[in-house]
């Protein structure tokens, strides 16, 4: 069997062979697959945009076969809300993009309907959704608390907690910053003071834990620990920031160290894992800069300094992958960097300041255009659209403020730090706002929201709410 990646098109679409091991991310993330009568093939829609994975013994030889596969995928794509999980920071693919359809194109002055809401403790950790379960990570009194709620009602299923003595030196809150990661039946969390836990999804029981600050003698950072672990092939990859253990892989089975690499200090950026040209890459933006390595063995394939010249600075935006291009961004007169990834190396495409300098919030991308916040969070960044290839600024909204962005169905869903929720078209032609409402009052809203089954799960500093975004 071979794998082919397809794009529906007016004349029947296009198919391109890709390595078999690259087929799995497309087929496994698709929630609706159908059997296609094309030489025993099955087609699924997955990833960003109207693309599909195609597993078959031989490629289609006639245009009618490609058209049949195209129509199959378009039928799947035309379904209403897809009901995808949101199992980790920035969603299924860690790129802030959702495949959901059938959402409301606008809402009234009061905003989307609130289905339910509950009080929560401190924290900037975002909620995650796995099936019918909602996972919440917050600080209540002198404990960090992981809770599992029913996504439909907010009713508690289980709770796990442990002591936490973290106190923020700058008064930015004492709750967890990193978002939980759900991988199969396991949940991996990383607390503000470096406590790494792995819990059972069904029962909430502790499977193992590691005190990273003690185990690796990590120096304190400005605002505690804030990088969300990524899980791949049974390994939890963490930017620990130890003196001889900048990046560490832990076995999800027992928490034991599998490998460690670099001496880089920890950042607030979260890593991603992608397959490029048949090779899987783990991509980090540490406090020192870019690191690309083999996620299975920790072998470093590329390192590049990318950080501010001043010490009082952070790298916080998550790397964004667009095909085989990796986009990195940082504030403090650092700018942006675009790399082209190969199987065994990296080529620099461009590096520039004044294009898109993310402080904390990560961009989203559609059709070759970046949408994101440029500039320092505390002075009110601009909201802009940038051509990824040419670096040209398509439009720019001055002093817009900052927020968390979800790209969904050709639109930008933005939860502003002020608690406003807005909807805008994702178009390079102009900034076109469709709706805006004050959804939360206890700012700042810094936890990235989760979108699943037409519902937005978002929080401020006092409550978490479930908002109904489905079209009526």
Domain boundaries, the chain: 2-77, 97-468
The pLDDT-based confidence of 12 (bands split at 50, 70, 90) is very low
Model pLDDT, residue 30: 39
Tell me which H or E stretch contains 72: helix 63-77
State the pLDDT at residue 221. 83
Q: Per the structure block, which two tokens stand in for 51?
A: 């693309």
Looking at residue 360, the DSSP 8-state letter turns out to be S
What's the number of CA atoms in the CB half-sphere (13 Å) around residue 339? Answer: 26
- The mean pLDDT value for 40-56 works out to 40
Read off the pLDDT of residues 225-244 as tens digits, 9 standing for 90 and up.
999 999 999 999 999 999 89
In the CATH hierarchy, which fold is given to the domain comprising 97-468?
A: Methylamine Dehydrogenase; Chain H (2.130.10)
| In the predicted structure, residue 77 carries a pLDDT above the cut 90 | no
CA distances for 175 relative to 168, 286, 416, angstroms:
9, 22, 20
pLDDT over threshold 90, residue 31? no
Q: Give the residue, 298 or 68, on which the prediction is more confident.
A: 298
pLDDT digits (tens, 9 = 90+) for 189-224: 999 999 999 999 999 999 999 999 999 999 888 889
- Evaluate if residue 112 carries a pLDDT over 80: yes
Asked if 82 contacts 101 with a C-beta cutoff of 8 angstroms, the reply is yes
Report how far residue 118's alpha carbon sits from residue 131's, in angstroms, rounded to the nearest whole number.
20
pTM: 0.83
Mean pLDDT for the stretch of residues 61-88? 48
Q: What digits encode the pLDDT tens for the residues 330-371?
A: 988 899 999 999 998 899 999 999 999 999 999 999 999 999
Over residues 89-111, the mean pLDDT reads: 95
pLDDT of 312: 76
Instruction: Output the pLDDT for position 46.
Output: 36
Q: What is the pLDDT of residue 3?
A: 53
Is the CA virtual torsion 84, 89, 93, 96 positive or negative?
positive
Confidence (pLDDT) at 377: 85
Q: Let me know: does 241 contact 265? Beta carbons within 8 Å.
A: yes
pLDDT digits (tens, 9 = 90+) for 390-424: 999 999 999 999 999 999 999 999 999 999 999 99
**427: pLDDT strictly greater than 90:** yes
**SS3 of 29, please?**
helix
pLDDT of residue 472: 85
Kindly indicate the confidence band of residue 309, based on its pLDDT and cuts at 50, 70 and 90. Answer: confident
């Amino acid at each position: 069997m071979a794998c082919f990646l397809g794009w529906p098109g007016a004349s029947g679409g296009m198919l391109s062979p890709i390595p078999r091991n690259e087929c799995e991310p497309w087929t496994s993330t698709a929630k609706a697959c159908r059997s296609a009568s094309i030489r025993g093939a099955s087609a699924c829609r997955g990833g960003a945009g109207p693309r599909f994975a195609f597993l078959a013994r031989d490629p289609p030889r006639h245009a009618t076969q490609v058209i049949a596969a195209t129509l199959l995928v378009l039928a799947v794509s035309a379904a209403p809300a897809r009901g995808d999980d949101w199992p980790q920071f920035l969603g299924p693919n860690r790129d802030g993009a959702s495949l959901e359809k059938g959402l409301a194109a606008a809402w009234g002055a009061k905003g989307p309907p609130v289905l339910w809401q509950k009080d929560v403790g401190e924290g900037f950790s975002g909620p995650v959704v796995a099936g019918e379960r909602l996972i919440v990570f917050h600080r209540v009194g002198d404990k960090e608390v992981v809770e599992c709620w029913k996504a439909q009602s907010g009713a508690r299923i289980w709770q796990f907690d442990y002591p936490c003595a973290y106190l923020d030196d700058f008064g930015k809150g004492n709750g967890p910053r990193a978002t939980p990661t759900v991988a199969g039946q396991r949940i991996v969390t990383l607390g503000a003071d470096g406590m790494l836990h792995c819990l059972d999804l069904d029962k909430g029981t502790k499977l193992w834990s590691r005190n990273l600050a003690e185990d690796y003698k990590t120096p304190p950072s400005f605002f505690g620990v804030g990088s969300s672990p990524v899980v791949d092939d049974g390994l939890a990859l963490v930017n620990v920031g130890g003196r001889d253990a900048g990046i560490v892989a832990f076995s999800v089975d027992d928490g034991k160290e599998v490998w460690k690499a670099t001496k880089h200090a920890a950042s607030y950026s979260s890593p991603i894992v992608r397959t490029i040209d048949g090779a899987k890459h783990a991509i980090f933006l540490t406090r020192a800069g870019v690191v690309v390595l083999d996620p299975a063995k920790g072998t470093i394939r590329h390192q590049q300094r990318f950080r501010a010249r001043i010490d009082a600075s952070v790298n916080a935006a998550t790397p964004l992958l667009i095909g085989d291009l990796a986009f990195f961004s940082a504030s403090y007169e650092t700018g942006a960097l675009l790399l082209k990834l190969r199987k065994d190396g990296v080529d620099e495409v461009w590096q520039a300041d004044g294009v898109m300098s993310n402080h904390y919030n990560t961009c989203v991308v559609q059709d070759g255009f970046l949408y994101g916040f440029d500039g320092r969070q505390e002075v009110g960044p601009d909201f802009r659209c940038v051509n990824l290839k040419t670096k040209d600024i398509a439009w720019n909204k001055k002093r817009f403020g900052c927020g968390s962005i979800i790209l969904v169905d050709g639109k930008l869903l933005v939860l502003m730090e002020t608690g406003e929720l807005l909807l805008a078209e994702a178009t390079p032609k102009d900034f076109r706002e469709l709706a805006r409402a004050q959804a939360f009052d206890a700012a700042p809203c810094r936890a990235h929201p989760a979108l699943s089954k037409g519902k937005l799960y978002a929080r401020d500093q006092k409550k978490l709410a479930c908002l109904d975004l489905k079209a009526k």
